[in-house]
Amino acid sequence: MSDPTNPLEWVEYAEEDWRSAKKLLRGSRPSATNSCFHSQQSAEKYFKALLVSQKAYFPKTHDLSSLNTLNTLCAENGILTGFNNSLLTILSNYAIATRYPGEMPTVEDAKEAIDIAKSVRKFSRKWLGLK
């Protein structure tokens, strides 16, 4: 059983989503929709790892960017990420939009989502003292 008060547990889950996001774009039949979803999930879990490391409360949310959500809560707890909220909003939208029929993300969208998640991952790992 994992421990939700341990930031490294959140990192482990974030890394699984990170690997999935990248793997889903490989091969002759890439899955942009699922790659976007896992990119968002990876970033979300990294934000939550940062907050857990500060023993900070966070609501059950997938929103990375708007007021009183994960990026804002990080800033309120002394974690100044410097992330562009419009990019985080792009990623946040994939938490819901990719689960239901509608406009499907393209491979280019998935590559952008991976790039955004990569910046969250890089910052988070450095902040947490991980390689």
Residues 4-28 pLDDT 10s: 999 999 999 999 999 999 999 998 9
Query: Which residues touch 35 (CB under 8 Å, ≥6 apart)?
Result: 20, 21, 22, 24, 25, 105, 110, 113, 114
Its CATH class, for the domain covering 7-127, is mainly alpha
* pLDDT computed for residue 115 by the predictor: 98
Compute, in degrees rounded to 10, the torsion defined by CA atoms 102, 104, 124, 10.
60
Rounded to two decimals, the pTM is 0.94
- CA 81-82-83 angle, to 5 degrees, is 90
Report the length, in residues, of the chain: 131
* pLDDT computed for residue 67 by the predictor: 67
CA 95 to chain centre: 9
